[in-house]
Structure 1
Amino acid sequence: MLVSDVMSAFPAYIRLGATIRRAAELVSVSEVGQLMVLDHDDRFVGSVGEEELVRAMLPSFDEVAGGGGSLDDAFRLFLEKGRALAERIVDPLVARDTATVRPGDELARAAVVMVDRGIRRLPVVDGGKLVGTLSRADLCRAVIYHS
């Protein structure tokens, strides 16, 4: 079985230069934990996930200690930092060394890559263009419906 047999052909994506606010909106609305990132020529460049977005907004220990040290203070700082970052571009948060697979790759190979690297959603790229994504849920569906 091939990656193209089970991949999602309509991946959630964002373009370089988009704001962190837009990335957070897309993660929320699409209900995927990871957005694929394209350049302005529609070439795949990497991904940005909810983890990177949240991590960018988290205050450091020193910031929390300097802001009072309580959980309420930490949450207030988290909100303030999030507001301050909202209009910045997402580009510095993009993971550019993302593993990818091709549509014609064997599904078993993709599964091994995902498990070995702890990847939940794998970009499917053909000739530099994003053509889909393969999630762990897609793998599970493949096993259920093709056994």
Structure 2
Amino acid sequence: MHSILVSEYMDHNPHAVNSDSSVRQVVQFLLKEQISGAPVVDDTRRLIGFVSEQDCMAEVLNDAFFCDDSPSVSTVMQNAVATTSPGTSILELAQLMADSTPRNYPVVENGKLVGLISRSRILNAILENGDDCYFRH
């Protein structure tokens, strides 16, 4: 199980938004794709943040109430993003995820977004590769 890597279970084509996008565009994208958040990248796919529906909520309310123009996603995104690499062990990441709040970890290699791994993908990897002793009782 320790030899199973993030690269084997990550989404290799993750939904990402560009740092130049407006909050309104990001919300429309999240709703269209039916996802709760996405990595924020620059034009070279370098990861610069993560944005969630929750991050956008106050700005969308403000825009609706005051009829303001929607600002750039960089004003609401999370700059400090927990990431992992393709070579990380699934078990190592599962242990980290068990004690932390992020539901998704951008997978980064040389500063560039190469994938995304979620709690559900981690659980799937463990179930597919787990020894029966994990589930006996």
Q: TM-score range by the shorter chain?
A: 0.7 to 0.9
Write the mapping of 1:35-50 to structure 2, written as runs, cut at 5 A.
35-50=38-53
Aligned to 1:100: 83
Moved over 4 A (4+): none
In the other structure, the counterpart of 2:8 is 5
Q: Is the 8 A contact 1:125 1:132 kept in 2?
A: yes
Deviations 1:34-67 (A, max 9, x none): 11011122211110001101133346xxxxxxxx
Structure 1 runs not aligned, ≥5 long = 60-77
- TM-score of the two chains, using structure 2 as the length reference: 0.84
Which digits, 9 at most, give the CA deviation of each residue in 1:63-121, with x for residues without a partner? Answer: xxxxxxxxxxxxxxx8325x525x32111112111010000011112122222221101
Partner residue of 2:56 out of 36, 53, 58: 53
2:15–2:38: 8 Å Cα contact kept in structure 1? yes
- Which residue number in structure 2 is paired with residue 146 of structure 1? 129
Query: 1:31, 1:138 → 2: CA distance?
Result: 17
TM-score (norm 1): 0.78
Match status 1:20 vs 2:23: yes
Cα RMSD of the aligned pairs, angstroms, is 1.7
Percent identity (aligned): 26
Tell me, in whole angstroms, the C-alpha distance in 1 between the residues paired with 2:7 and 2:122. Answer: 12
Q: Counterpart of 1:84 in 2: which secondary structure?
A: coil
Corresponding residue number in structure 2 for 1:137: 120
Q: Answer yes or no: is 1:84 the counterpart of 2:68.
A: yes
Task: Report the AA paired with residue 65 of structure 2.
Answer: E
CA distance in 2, matches of 1:144, 1:115: 15
Question: What are structure 2's unaligned runs of at least 5 residues?
Answer: 131-137
